Chain A
Amino acid sequence: MSPPALRRLGAFFFVLFLVSGGTPVFAYYSSYSSADQGRGILFCAAGLVGGVAAFFWGFAQLRTKRLMQDIPLSTVRAMAPGLVEISGSAVDWCPFEGPLSGRKCVYYEYEIEQYVSSGKNCHWETILSGNSKTSPFFIQDETGMVMVAPEGSKVIIPRAYQLETGVFTEVPGRISDFMDRRGVSCRSFFGFEKKLRFTERHLEPVDKVFVMGTCQESSARLTEPPSGATSGLCVAKGLRSSEVFILSDESQRELESSFGDHAFFGIFGGLALIGGCLYGLLNLLGIA
């Protein structure tokens, strides 16, 4: 079974669980003690708000999916100002070094989290994060090359690097230097290594890149753009904040499928959550 089909199946069973009364059952058992009842009311209220949010989020995902379907893939040469979808490979032009992986890339984003525990609560807390959204890069297809200004984009790329370190695992020298330069230590007060998690996502040169954004006049004046680049035009975020700008290494079809799954999950899951949580809430509040 393909991953999208599996995702759809998972979402279906989750919705089925909610519809079949997962939340009301939880609410019923919560009504035995007053402490559990208070917690139950809180969970149901949170679920209700979450359900409404998921419902509208699902429609936003559906809108993006349909928008993506309605705009055919364009070649760089055929691009005209307005919303466009292009697909090509990242050009090896002024690449960076990924701050965590050390790999050559044209775009990166990273996050360094620390494991924090206090009493019963424990969670990962972000202590350092960043990306290279202010630095443009180029993509090319068989008809030309165009600049992409990633600022303001929604980047959908898989994790390319992840590492967890703890008391017995040392942080690699390159990463500890990087953290030191930013004034963050990887050691605790007593000199022990902190429990840290390092995550990096990046696009390497020659990676396939799909871009859905607004083709517009480029305001950036590069001193040495790569030869063959379309002059004067770039793909960037549109003037309105609601305009879609997606950057991904997945294909258009994969993204459409993924947005479709999110829409299904959000709309039907949200609806089921609203029903289930409302039922539980009314039961717990004793409104008959």
Chain B
Amino acid sequence: MITATVGTVVAFFAVLGLFLYLVTVFNGLIRLKVNIDKAWANIDVLLKQRHDLVPNLVAVVKGYKDFEQKTLTDLTAARTASLGAVSLSDKAQAAETLTGSLNRLFAVVENYPQLKAQQNFLELQKTLSDLESQVADRRSFYNDTVAAYNARIAQFPDVLLAGGMKLTRRDLFQAAEGEKGIVQVNLAAS
């Protein structure tokens, strides 16, 4: 009688424990999914700030009539492509291209000492450079979050719940290997 009572109570707590464990796992998976969306939103807001600053930069540089036009055209095209990107890999690729175009512009500006010394330009350059560093950090954070999520949905026992919740692997925020190009800057061009 005593053994049966004790057995029933312990079994009750064991089942309660299993239930609580499943709730913990379920909540953890939902939290990870939300974290990914939040981490992405935190990158997106910075990318948008960067897009908004590019026209200002172009306007400042355009003031110099003999400035290399191709650099400006490339930058504007990269911004347009970045704004139009929909999928994560497209956005990553577009962000990479925009970074390349900006770096190219900053490199070319080295040949224009007057422009380089202009206060407006310096401020924009600093803001864009800070944004770029922040984007890099948040991209790394986003990728860590995705990696944690991908690992979790593949591990036991989370994999059992993840299947039922129809959770699938998420992509990292990175440009496709073949699409990453080194920015070629011809300083002698101007």
Name A's B-contacting residues (CB within 8 A): 55, 59, 62-63, 66-67, 69-75, 77-78, 80, 82, 143, 267, 270-271, 274-275, 278-279, 282-283, 287-288
Contact = CB atoms under 8 A, between A and B. Distances in A.
B135 to A, nearest CB: 9
Q: Is the interface of B mostly helix, strand, loop or mixed?
A: helix
A75 B134 CA distance: 10
Interface residues of B, number: 32
Nearest to B41: A80
A287 B17 contact: no
A271 B17 contact: yes
Contacts of A278: 5-6, 9-10
Contacts of A73: 144
Q: Is the interface of A mostly helix, strand, loop or mixed?
A: helix
B6 A80 contact: no
B144 A72 contact: yes
Contact of A78 (B5, B140, B147): B140
B38 A82 contact: yes
Contact of A271 (B2, B10, B35): B10
Interface string B154-168: 000000000000000
Contacts of A287: 1-2, 5
Nearest to A62: B24
A287 B3 CA distance: 11
B123 interface: no
B10 A275 contact: yes
Interface in B26-69: 27-28, 31-32, 35, 38, 42
A275 B2 CA distance: 11
10 contacts: A72-B144, A74-B137, A78-B137, A143-B137, A267-B17, A271-B10, A278-B6, A282-B5, A287-B1, A288-B1
Contacts of A63: 24, 27
A80 B24 contact: no
A275 B9 contact: yes
A288 B160 CA distance: 42
A270 B137 CA distance: 43
Which 6 pairs between the two chains have the least Cβ-Cβ distance? A78-B137, A72-B144, A80-B42, A275-B10, A282-B2, A279-B6
B13 interface: yes
